[in-house]
Structures are given as structure tokens and as C-alpha cells.
Amino acid sequence: MENLTFLMHIYVFVLAIFVGFELITKVPPTLHTPLMSGSNAISGITIVGALLSAGMKEFTISTILGMIAVIFAMINVVGGFLVTDRMLKMFKKKK
Amino acid sequence: MRVVIEVTYLISSVFFIFGIKYLGSPKTARKGNLYAAIGMFLAIVITLFDQHVLTFEWIIAGVIIGSTIGTILAIKVPMTGMPQMVGMLNGFGGGASTLVALAEYYKLNPNYPIDKGLIFNLPINQGIAIILSLLIGGVTFTGSMIAFGKLQGLVTGKVVKYPLQHPINLILLLAVLGTGAYIVINPGSIMLVLIITLVSLVLGVLLVLPIGGADMPVAISLLNSYSGIAGATTGFVLGNNELIIAGALVGASGIILTLIMCRAMNRSLMNVLLGGWASAGSAGPATGTTSPKGDVKSIDSEELAMLLDAVSSVIIVPGYGMAVAQAQHAVRDLMNVLEKKGANVRFAIHPVAGRMPGHMNVLLAEAQVPYDKLFAMEDINDDFSNTDLVIVIGANDVVNPAARHDQSSPIYGMPILNVDYAKTVIINKRSLNVGYAGIDNELFFYPNALMYFGDAKEAISKLTNEIKNL
């Protein structure tokens, strides 16, 4: 059962990679930087794991590691989305 | 509640997918970024309802500190500092993955350090995922920070060579994997896990340190991919599909950008992965190659203004020099003046111009140059032959015709912008110095080439004023 669950995760991983390739091959070079900073912010999804550690019932070493991870991931997430928006605001077509 | 949480993670994943999809077109890109942010918000909020999340003071503190730092960074960074900003943020993502993997390992024996007993209950899958998270996250963290340092000028942007570079890196990698395998089979030692973390961090430094400044677009893209993969491995540690999906999306996106950058420099991904990134830069410093000797003609702003007064089609080729001189606004002014005179002005952007993919596009967007005036190499390369005048601003190797015909040149085979096919090529540079590849540019000696010496910002502003005064 354990191995089956793991296999399902592998499934999801492989399929998601294909989705990623499909989505991104079409991105024009003009948007490469915002794409990178935006996807960068998405990789801050590790915040989920950080929250699970920082919010444990009992205080352990994991709590501290979790809290530092929350800080790191939040810098990544908040900084990433904001800076991407700042860039994209500037992209304008000819009037 | 479990079901609600899982369904929310699914919805959040869909937001990420649509977010990345919409990021693919200039018209919808802002919406895409917003969608991705909504996905992230959903994931964060619903995680707080997880049965394992019972205390909130550490979470609140972490969220406040992290958001504040992130906001300040995002508001303060100038557009010219964007490559290092992306590099740094990337690093924090990787660092978070490493920390989460460590925290999960510690959780297997919550009584540590009081109880030093072995942890017996570490499923092999999870064990492998923890080791890979430590490795990839660690490399991403320090690698990105070195990249940040190089782009910020804190660490030398030159190619750094140290003896036995490849063997050392390989040994460190094997040490991590070997120790990791031991831990997966005999879980328990905290010390070994910390050693793995430390070695991974060192490996990140050693892998990125040798890379020269102009190879940064590849390095940044690859580190971006690593941060995604680190997120996915964290997903395997936690058994969370959303992390796996989001991580895979980012990993794929980073790899695609990396491949585009490699192709633009005519190098294989293997060459990049093995850390041979700098080899082209150091292979043939000026002496080794046949440097075409001849007369270099230069032109001053007054003559150039008169020349520009009569042209009907102009292509501007910006390079890293424009970014360094912060000349994007001056270039915009020049474009406006030329357009007012009735000339058709376009921009040709080489994929590796600057220090990250799309660097030139961001700078010109900041200067309010409409994005439909910027053309990718393959879309504009055939047009140079029927263009009156090309102005190269702070670019060098990407316009060196030696890449087309000189088999002894280190950049031979690299796709270049065919600026030499235009009737006249103006090259704005501070001096005749070599570019990143360390070779002379034979373009400067071509009969249709004219050097316009000076700092990009000053020289272009001066030119614009001369044209206005005609």
C-alpha cells in the first residue's frame, strides 16, 4: 500500500512535468524574466511543509527549522509575486 | 476535513497551471501572476487547518518576518538589479526545501537530543526523498546566493578556476549519495544528515563559483529549475501532490529556459551540467585566435546624427553594456526622435543578451518601449540585409561574424545577430576591448562598420540631442 501511494506520486510528478513542458514551450522570449520570477514564486510552495513543521503541537528542533523555513519560503513567495507584478505592469503595447 | 484540504490543494494546483499558462502571453501575463498568487494563498490558508498544525505563534512570526522582507526587496530592487533579485529569491526557495527536509527527519525522533536512540521507522521512499531534498535544496540555496553575489558584484564575475574542479565536485556528490544511501538503510544518525546538508551547501558554492558573468542566464535558469525540483522532492517527503505538481511545473519551466539559453550559445546541456560552462570563455583568449587587423573607423555624434537623419529603417541591438550604463531611457529617447523623423525603429534581442533570460526586454519595458517593437533573433535576422542602419549598444560576442565562419573561434557555431548584413553598422562601446569570450570582434574592422565610442548612456543622449538640433 505504501509503495502504491508512492507510485501515485510518481505518476502525478511525471504528468505534471509534461504539463509544464507543454505550457512553457510557447512562452515568447519577451516574457522570459517574468516567467522565471513568477514560477520562482510558485516554487515557494514548500511553505506548506514549513507550516506543518512550525505549527506542531510540541516545541522541538523541527519547530525552529520550520519557522526559519516559513521565513525563507515567504520571502520567496511574497517577493516573487510582487516583483513579477511590478515587471508585468511595465509591459505595454504600442498605443 | 482531510477531503476538504485535499480538494483545496487540487484547486490551488489548477490555479498554478492556469497562472503559468497565462504568463505565456503579454496580454494575460499579469492575470497569470495573480492566479498563481491566489493558488499560493489558498494552499497556505488551507494548510493552517491541517490536523498537525496546532500552534500558531511561530507560524505568525515567520509569515510576518518573511512577508516583510519579501515586500521590501520587491519594492526596492531597481529593474537593472532584477537578475540578482531572481537569483536570491530562488535561493530562499531552495533553502526552505532543505530546512523542511531536516525538520521532517528530526520529527522521526521528536525526543532528540534527549533520546539519542535510532529511528527505525523511515520508509525507503521517504528516506530517499529527504536526502534528495537536502541535496537539491542545499545546492540551490548556496548556488543561488553565489549567483546573486556575482551579479551584485560582491563575488568576482570572472571565471574562477580551482584545481581538480570536476573530480572534487564528483567526489562530493558521490559522498552525499553514498551517505544518503546509508541513512536510508540505517536511519537514525542526525550527525550524518547534517554532514549531508553541509556538503550539499559546499557543493552549491563550488558548482556556481566557476561560472563567468555572461553565462549567468544559463546558471540562473538552471537554478530556477533546481528550486522547482527541490519543491517536488519536498512533496515526496510529505506525500503532498500539490508540492509535486507545482515543483514539477517550475522544474520543467527552468529546464526549458536552460535549453533555450544553451542553444543560444551553441553548448550542450551536458557541457553545462558538468560545470564546463566557462570553458568557451577561457579556451581562447585573444592571443590564440587570428585577430583580423585593419583600420577601425570611428564616427562622432555630429556625423552620426547626420547619417541618421537620412535613414528609413533602424534596428537597435542592446546588450549587457546597455544595462550596465543604465542607458535604457536614453535609448528610448533616441527611438522617439528617430520615429518622429519617420524612421522605422525596431529592436533585435539575442536570447543570451544580458544576465538572465529576457533581461533586455524588462529594461526596455521599464523605459516604456512597447514590447511589439522587440524582436527575437529568429524573427528579425533575415531583415538586417534590407536595413539601412544598425546600432549595437553594449553587445559584442553575439554580433561577432566569426561565429559563422571561423572554425578556430571559441564562439564558432553560436547563433548570432546578422548585423553585418545591414548597410551600415554603428557600434557603441567604451573601447575596442574584447567581450566575454575574450576574442577580438572582426565586425569592428568591416568596411560597413563604424565605431561610436563612449559610455552608452552619455553617448546615446548626446546623439539624440544632436539629431534634435539638426
Instruction: Determine whether the interchain pair B69/A75 forms a contact, defined as Cβ–Cβ distance below 8 Å.
Output: yes
| Residues of chain B contacting residue A85, judged by C-beta atoms under 8 Å apart | 30, 33-34
Question: In chain B, where are the structural domains located?
Answer: 1-76, 95-281, 296-469
pLDDT grade for A46, boundaries at 50, 70 and 90: very high
- C-alpha B92/C-alpha A40 separation (Å) is 10
pLDDT at B280: 42
- What tens digit of pLDDT does each residue of B226-246 get? 999 999 999 999 999 999 999
- Do residues B143 and B223 lie in contact, with contact meaning Cβ atoms separated by under 8 Å? yes
Give B192's contacts (C-beta < 8 A, 6+ positions apart): B179, B182, B183
Mean pLDDT of A29-46: 93
Q: Is B397 a catalytic residue?
A: yes
Identify the H or E element spanning B56. none
Residues (pLDDT < 70) of chain B are: 110-120, 270, 272-294, 437
The ipTM estimated for the assembled molecules is 0.95
- For residue A36, name the pLDDT band (cuts at 50, 70, 90): very high
In chain B, which residues have their Cβ closer than 8 Å to the Cβ of A43?
90, 93, 224, 227-228, 230-231, 246-247, 250
Confidence (pTM): 0.89
pLDDT of residue B286: 40
Cβ–Cβ below 8 Å for A38 and B33: yes
Tens digits of residue pLDDT in B8-36: 999 999 999 999 999 989 899 999 999 99
Q: Rounded distance, CA B36 to CA A38, Å? A: 8
**Fold assignment, B296-469:** Rossmann fold (3.40.50)
CB contact under 8 A, A31 and B26: yes
| Domain boundaries, given as residue ranges, for chain A | 29-90
B53: CB partners within 8 A, 6+ apart: A51, A52, A55, A56, B47, B59
How large is the average pLDDT for residues A76-94? 92
- Contact in structure between B448 and B314 (CB atoms under 8 Å): no
Nearest CA in chain B to A43: B228
Residues of chain A with C-beta less than 8 angstroms from the C-beta of B102? 65
User: Is-contact B5 B44, C-beta < 8 A?
Assistant: no
CB contact under 8 A, A46 and B93: yes
* B248 Cβ under 8 Å from any chain A Cβ: yes
Q: Does the distance separating the beta carbons of A92 and B371 come in below 8 Å?
A: yes
Distance CA(B304)–CA(B52), nearest Å, equals: 70
pLDDT at A89: 92
